[in-house]
Structure 1
Amino acid sequence: MTADAPPRGLVLVVEDEPAIADLVRLYLSRDGFGVHLERDGVAGLAAARRLRPVACVLDIALPALTGTEICRRLREAGDWTPVIFLTARDDEVDRVVGLELGADDYVTKPFSPRELVARVRAVLRRTAGAPEGTGLPRVVGAVALDPTRRTVTVEGAPVQLTSTEFDLLAYLMARPGRVFTREELLAGVWGYAAHAGTRTVDVHVAQVRSKLGGAGVIRTHRGVGYAADG
């Protein structure tokens, strides 16, 4: 099921509903991606490790091994391949848990296949390069961020961020002192409108803060949004 020499790279789709899996494959293939399908979590995890895809689209409620467990095991092994959850679960707890495990985005069923493709492309754009206006390295206190190398250090020690976490931090640090609303951050970093849910921003900010430890860089402005120290 893997396309030959895909121009955009190979996307792993792990989905146990054949109709949905085929629909996702069709739209990703039309957009120039190679697609490899798996039907259960154990096979999906093995494929992720073996094929090294450019991105993974994971259902959460999979046989044998859940999508969240696949994501957790990949992250624990140091694999930061972008992960997008495709799930029927619209419960906030499921979405937050997925993001806290290191997922980059999520799409809930029923969904627009075109939107899913757009989300995959947006995640890959963030992985491939720094957002506009963030090209120069920045240092705030003990935190140093290099957009070109896509590295973050705290007092010289490397910090591992997901592609989305990195771009959120880079976006804020490139504009120190400016307060962004959650809607502005969704548009600027994620590349889509606020109807996707601003809770996503809060979870990612919390994750970045946790990984930076005591190096406080992102400030909360109650009732407004977030800003990076100057």
Structure 2
Amino acid sequence: MTNILIVEDEPGIAEFLEKGLRSRNFAPSIASNAQQAFNRVQHHDCDLMILDLSLPGKDGLNILEHLRSQGKSFPIIILTARDNIEDKLAGLEGGANDYMTKPFQFEELVARIRLRLRDGAAREDTEETLLSAGNMVLDLRRRIVKVEDRSIELATREYALAEVLFRAAGQVVSREELLNKVWGYNYDPGSNIVEVYIGYLRKKMGSGVIGTVRGVGYRLLV
């Protein structure tokens, strides 16, 4: 089923959307603030997001900017009471795929969801699915890495970390950039989580595939 994340802090609207989408054979879930949304995206599949702009804490536009900066490419439909042109332009230019204002017709929202899902499927057909570095290949669809004749399964965060390194193969990626792209900018910068997961990847892929540049960051060796 198609997983749709509803980021909405008004319980009545969130429940209305959840029930309506479930009746249309989607698999909806709800986040009422930015942190819940980020956690949901990090730990669960998300095929499309419905995003309110007026949220407690971080504004919906901040959520949009953060997700796109992390490379999250799933369709995002803004659904908000803010109907001024400045917000609409900011949302669309910031990476939203569509913008609807409240009050809204549910049937129109469903039609736009289906349209954006078709658009996303068409893009995936033309996007790269393999990243290569030396004798290693990262399969973006299957989320495995191949090292010579070995196929290695990666956990969610291991895969996210590997993708950042593969996309910058041969280049040094700072610890701060890895922390931001894989764990989010709210994560404690004093944590050793980057080092821990680099260790996991080295254990799975081989001790000589990721180099350490002391005081700077890490590099996938090619």
Q: What interval of TM-score do these two structures reach, taking the shorter chain for normalisation? A: 0.5 to 0.7
- Deviation digits for residues 157-195 of structure 1 (CA, Å, limit 9, x no counterpart): xxxxxxxxxxxxxxxxxxxxxxxxxxxxxxxxxxxxxxx
Match of 2:94 among 101, 124, 141: 101
AA partner of residue 149 (structure 1): T
State the identity %: 37
> For 1:65 and 1:107, how far apart are their aligned partners in 2?
20
> For 1:68 and 1:91, how far apart are their aligned partners in 2?
14
Gaps in structure 2 of 5+ consecutive residues: 129-222
Tell whether the 8 Å contact from 1:48 to 1:56 is kept in structure 2 after alignment.
Answer: no
Q: Would you say 1:79 and 2:72 are equivalent positions?
A: yes
Q: Which residue of 2 aligns with 1:149?
A: 126
Q: Which residue of 2 aligns with 1:24?
A: 17
Tell whether the 8 Å contact from 2:5 to 2:50 is kept in structure 1 after alignment.
Answer: yes
Q: Which residue of 2 aligns with 1:219?
A: none
Shift of 1:51: 1.4
Count of matched residue positions in the alignment of Structure 1 and Structure 2: 128
Tell whether the 8 Å contact from 1:99 to 1:105 is kept in structure 2 after alignment.
Answer: yes
Shift of 1:49: 2.2
State how 1:1-230 maps to structure 2 within 5 Å: 7=1, 9-129=2-122, 148-150=125-127
- Deviation digits for residues 9-45 of structure 1 (CA, Å, limit 9, x no counterpart): 1100010111111111112111111011011122112
- Deviation digits for residues 135-169 of structure 1 (CA, Å, limit 9, x no counterpart): xxxxxxxxxxxx84246xxxxxxxxxxxxxxxxxx
The alignment yields a C-alpha RMSD, in angstroms, of 1.5
Gaps in structure 1 of 5+ consecutive residues: 1-6, 131-146, 152-230
Tell me the TM-score normalized by structure 2.
0.55
Tell whether the 8 Å contact from 2:74 to 2:120 is kept in structure 1 after alignment.
Answer: no
| Secondary structure of 1:129's aligned partner | helix
- Deviation digits for residues 39-58 of structure 1 (CA, Å, limit 9, x no counterpart): 11221122122213100101
